[in-house]
Amino acid sequence: MSRDTSSSDLRIVMAQLDFPVGAIDANAGRVIDACRHARDELGADAIVFPELCITGYPPEDLLLRPHFQEFVERAVERVTREISGIVAVIGHPLRHGGSLFNAASVIADGSVIAGYCKQHLPNYSVFDEKRYFQPGAAACVVAVRDVPVGITICEDIWKPGPARQAAAAGAQLLVNLNASPFHAGKGLEREALLQQRALETGLSVMYINLVGGQDELVFDGGSVVVSAAGEVTHRAGCCEEVLFPVDFSAGPVAPVAGECAPHLEDVEAVYRVLVTGVRDYIGKNGFPGAVIGLSGGIDSALTLAIAVDAIGADRVSAVMMPSRYTSRMSLEDARSEAEALRVAYDEISIEPVFRAFLESLRDVLGAMPADTTEENIQARCRGVLLMALSNRQQRIVLTTGNKSEMSVGYATLYGDMAGGFAPIKDVPKLLVYRLAEYRNRTGRVIPERVLTRAPSAELAPDQKDADSLPPYEILDPILERYIEQDQSIEQIVEAGFDTAVVARIAGLVDRNEYKRRQAPPGVRISRRAFGRDRRYPITSGYPNTRGTLTLT
């Protein structure tokens, strides 16, 4: 791609790409290929990559392995040796003076011409950077076609100091390398922050973000350029890999207005992120496909649709495992879902297995009336069958539990919790319905009555979720306040919720931490997901709502 030099004095490419964690050699090769493409096909003067692109983000305790940094250093040397005719800004760990830094190197024609070390190290939520890195202190401003460009990394842009420091050092343009994971609403938060920094410093800001799934995290891209006047002039798409060229005029340096991908509504962004997270977890871990237990309910229907959109119908199989309590409606709807999405489908009754378990336990349990024991045995029968299919097919089992259920322990250990990845474990039940309705807009794959029928685990006669839990219209707002906002029982009650209901729900959340520790990882889409984001002790005397563990 040639460029009109009369309107552009500088072209910088934002390399919004996926760099898998630990794939050091492959990531270095990708950097080199992108540099050549940006130089030869896009006519770029410079290209900027995401934070820690050489190692992927977050490398976690790989950084503590003695030889890991040696591999990184060899990769940086290779990139430096092979890049010419373009300025590249790459992110990588840097070992210097006995310390490790989260760094960016500026490379041109076989040399590292400048370097920057991240000053603000996030140590909250999903971030643990102070465990590994030391903070930098100095600004980095480097000339690219005579334009002084200031370099910062991720968290630095969330604080005013580094941007002001770069401006004081003579920068006329600020670039920010990122590995910023998604949560709902994050894109608008980022852009508001960038607009603030631009207005404070009088500098245009280029924000380059990583894209792709890494375990629970999904990096959604959304790389953006904001002018010194606070106007968004360029925006890359959500969850899309792209080499995105941006032109700047000089004197003063300003972005030439270009392509702006639209902001997505929250439900569409969440759906894209869920698909990306499932696709990359399955692909990067080398699974040939996925298997899902269909119940005829909305959670498994949504999970099936996400899986098919992520990896294709030919790589997904579904199995319905009816029991004596499964309704004809559930059987019909499960078949309809599988047919609509064109996946391989089987039905395996758990009745013979269930009866065998009951017979084996008869002498021990005696003639006691049925309770959750029998319900959980059914769920565990299904878990055994799913794992058998997984073993034989080498396909990962995707579990179907949502955040509302996982919060209060409405799930069975070694039953419906058995599996390798949990796509919707951070999705509250009410959002499950919205996502299902959104997916049906592009082709109805979830039957209408799945959206309208009362939710039920179908583990006992005429069972409904509402028999055990408050309506989701009440439950989900309480859970959001208690889990994501850390509100106390008193604060939630002051917001208008019943005291007894709030205390019961808080107690269920606290008592079931042990269960969630044994759940598979899943995609994070909220500000506070279970797992690496929300780390509570299992054994704790706080608060007084805990009671005793419920072993289910």
Per-residue model confidence (pLDDT) at position 8? 64
Who has greater pLDDT, 299 or 125?
A: 299
Per-residue model confidence (pLDDT) at position 1? 46
Per-residue model confidence (pLDDT) at position 528? 92
Radius of gyration of the chain (CA): 26
- List Cβ neighbours of 218 (8 Å cut-off, separation of 6 or more): 181, 182, 212, 239, 273, 276, 277, 280, 523, 524, 525
Of the given ranges (166-180, 318-332, 416-430), which has the lowest mean pLDDT? Answer: 318-332
Label residues 169-179 b or e (16+ Cβ within 10 Å = b). Answer: eebbbbbbbbb
- In this predicted model, what pLDDT tens digit does every residue of 39-63 receive, in sequence order? 999 999 999 999 999 999 999 999 9
> Where are the domains positioned within the chain?
10-259, 269-464
269-464: same fold as 10-259? no
- Provide the 8-state DSSP code for 119: S
Q: Which of 35, 53, 117, 154 is catalytic?
A: 154
Q: Which two tokens stand for residue 544?
A: 């007084």
* Euclidean distance between CA atoms 135 and 235, whole angstroms: 30
For the domain spanning 10-259, the CATH number is 3.60.110.10
* Euclidean distance between CA atoms 336 and 301, whole angstroms: 10
Q: How far is CA 41 from CA 12, 36, 164, 209, in A?
A: 13, 8, 35, 22
Is 403 an annotated catalytic residue? no
- In this predicted model, what pLDDT tens digit does every residue of 463-506 receive, in sequence order? 777 778 899 999 999 999 999 999 999 999 999 999 999 999 99
Q: Which of 35, 53, 117, 118 is catalytic?
A: 118
Q: Which two tokens stand for residue 358?
A: 């009951």
Whether the per-residue pLDDT at 147 is higher than 60: the answer is: yes
Are residues 101 and 71 in contact, defined by beta-carbon separation less than 8 angstroms? no
* Euclidean distance between CA atoms 380 and 415, whole angstroms: 4
Instruction: Determine the straight-line distance between the first and last CA of the chain, rounded to whole angstroms.
Output: 61
Of the pLDDT bands very low, low, confident and very high (cuts 50, 70, 90), residue 532 is confident
Residue ranges of E strands in 22-98: 46-48, 87-96
- List Cβ neighbours of 307 (8 Å cut-off, separation of 6 or more): 278, 290, 292, 316, 398, 423
Percentage of the chain beyond pLDDT 90 is 86
* CA atoms within a 13 Å half-sphere pointing along the CA-CB vector of 295: 21
Are residues 121 and 209 in contact, defined by beta-carbon separation less than 8 angstroms? no
The order of strands in the sheet holding 254-255 is 111-117, 99-108, 87-96, 46-48, 10-16, 242-249, 254-255
The amino acid that residue 426 corresponds to is D
* Euclidean distance between CA atoms 67 and 73, whole angstroms: 10
- Provide the 8-state DSSP code for 530: B
Of the pLDDT bands very low, low, confident and very high (cuts 50, 70, 90), residue 548 is low
What phi and psi values does residue 220 have, to the nearest 5 degrees?
Answer: -100, 5
Determine the 3-state secondary structure of 243 from DSSP.
strand
Label residues 460-484 b or e (16+ Cβ within 10 Å = b). Answer: beebebeeebbebeebbbbbbbbbb
Of the pLDDT bands very low, low, confident and very high (cuts 50, 70, 90), residue 301 is very high
Are residues 500 and 158 in contact, defined by beta-carbon separation less than 8 angstroms? no
Whether the per-residue pLDDT at 69 is higher than 90: the answer is: yes
Matching residue, tokens 């950077």: 129
User: Mean pLDDT throughout 527-550?
Assistant: 76
* CA atoms within a 13 Å half-sphere pointing along the CA-CB vector of 264: 22
Whether the per-residue pLDDT at 550 is higher than 80: the answer is: no
The amino acid that residue 302 corresponds to is L
- In this predicted model, what pLDDT tens digit does every residue of 397-409 receive, in sequence order? 999 999 999 999 9
Whether the per-residue pLDDT at 461 is higher than 90: the answer is: no
Is 159 an annotated catalytic residue? no
Is 239 an annotated catalytic residue? no
Name all contacts of 449-454 with Cβ < 8 Å and 24+ positions apart: 449/329, 449/333, 450/296, 450/297, 450/298, 450/301, 450/333, 450/337, 451/298, 453/329
Are residues 249 and 9 in contact, defined by beta-carbon separation less than 8 angstroms? yes
H-only helix segments in 216-297: 266-284
* Euclidean distance between CA atoms 395 and 199, whole angstroms: 51
Of the pLDDT bands very low, low, confident and very high (cuts 50, 70, 90), residue 286 is very high
Are residues 100 and 130 in contact, defined by beta-carbon separation less than 8 angstroms? no
- In this predicted model, what pLDDT tens digit does every residue of 333-380 receive, in sequence order? 999 999 999 999 999 999 999 999 999 998 888 778 888 898 999 999
Are residues 82 and 111 in contact, defined by beta-carbon separation less than 8 angstroms? no
Whether the per-residue pLDDT at 552 is higher than 70: the answer is: no
Determine the 3-state secondary structure of 218 from DSSP.
strand
Q: Which of 51, 155, 216, 337 is catalytic?
A: 51
The amino acid that residue 278 corresponds to is V
For the domain spanning 269-464, the CATH number is 3.40.50.620
Per-residue model confidence (pLDDT) at position 355? 94
Residue ranges of E strands in 306-417: 316-320, 344-347, 396-397
* CA atoms within a 13 Å half-sphere pointing along the CA-CB vector of 526: 24
Provide the 10 A C-beta neighbour count for residue 273. 26
